[in-house]
Amino acid sequence: MLVHSCFAESLDGQRTPITDERGCSLDEDLLPNLSYGNDLKLAYAKADVFKYPDHSYIQFRCQIRLCPTSEECLKIMPPQCSQNRRQKRMAAGGPIFDVDLFNSIKNDMQRYSMDVISDALLVVDDA
């Protein structure tokens, strides 16, 4: 499993990208790079709470790429995030599908991917 292309979103649609398409943090002050369990089926990070000014609710949206355990998939999972890292590509393989929020399905190479959205989170500011 590779978590990638994450962003935070206010309920009125204001978005802030959090991770890139490789699964690397775009701003480690907002969210550090994700850690993965040994079996690559768990991704997590400890982060401070944040919110948009004048908005009390925030949602997180991410894409999750599911991939059979194979040499091709292990090349990208977990992501090796650094400034000088070259992007690795998966080798072509059997038929795979991308699933998005609108349930459209398209053929792709060696992966299963879906969008995941959190429930709206209420952030209370004591100030």
Tens digit of each residue's pLDDT (9 = 90 or more) over 45-64: 888 878 888 888 888 889 88
Domain regions of the chain by residue span: 2-122
Task: Decide if 114 contacts 99 (C-beta within 8 A).
Answer: yes
pTM over 0.75: no
Q: Which residues contact 67 (CB under 8 A, 6 or more apart)?
A: 1, 2, 73, 76, 77, 90, 110, 111, 112
Q: Which residue has the higher pLDDT, 121 or 14?
A: 14
Tens digit of each residue's pLDDT (9 = 90 or more) over 72-104: 667 777 888 875 333 333 333 333 333 333 333
Burial of 45 (0-12, 13-18, 19+ CB in 10 A): middle
